[in-house]
Amino acid sequence: MKKLSRQQWLFVAIALICFALLKAGLIYWYLQQKDKPVQLVNVSCSNLQQGCALPDGSTLRFDRVPRHSEAFLITLEQAGNSAPSAEFSMEKMDMGFNRYRFVAAGQQWQAKVTLPVCISGSGDWLMDLQQGEHRYRVRFKSL
């Protein structure tokens, strides 16, 4: 095995120091981003099948009344350039990981969603929609 020269050791030391500074900077940036409050705006929608106007001008629509364990389609029209995501939960009940990323479909975004069965029989869902810098909460009922 060949020994490293003094110059090679110096290069390794500088590279390790640069890596440590980069890592510390990324951790600091992440912690700053994590603590930024994202305002969650509650949106009231009486009929999601007809469409619901969001404060940013986009329209949220379900293709049918959601049923547990059956796929349904959510469409988001006039949304921004980045792919939105939706996370589904119930109040005071752990429903597992239920996050969906929308995919581009022409001039709109779509997500095919399947909700799990709730053992309590509840159909009261919360959808947290993340769209760029905006975050909306929509309450809805499933069958």
pLDDT tens figures, 11-28:
999 999 999 999 999 988
120: which residues sit within 8 A by CB, 6+ positions away?
Answer: 93
Overall average pLDDT of the 74-96 stretch: 86
- Reply yes or no on whether the pLDDT at 2 is more than 90: no
Does 73 or 143 have the greater pLDDT score? 73
Which pLDDT belongs to residue 39? 82
H or E segment and range at residue 127: strand 124-131
Phi-psi region of 29 (alpha: psi -120 to 50; beta: other; left: phi over 0): alpha
**Rounded to an integer, what distance in angstroms lies between the CA atom of residue 102 and that of residue 112?**
8
Count of beta carbons in the 10 Å neighbourhood of residue 55 = 9
Is this model's pTM higher than 0.75 or not?
Answer: no
Which pLDDT score is estimated for 79? Answer: 66
Position 97 confidence tier, pLDDT thresholds 50, 70, 90 = confident
Q: What's the rounded Cα separation, in Å, for the pair 113 and 43?
A: 20
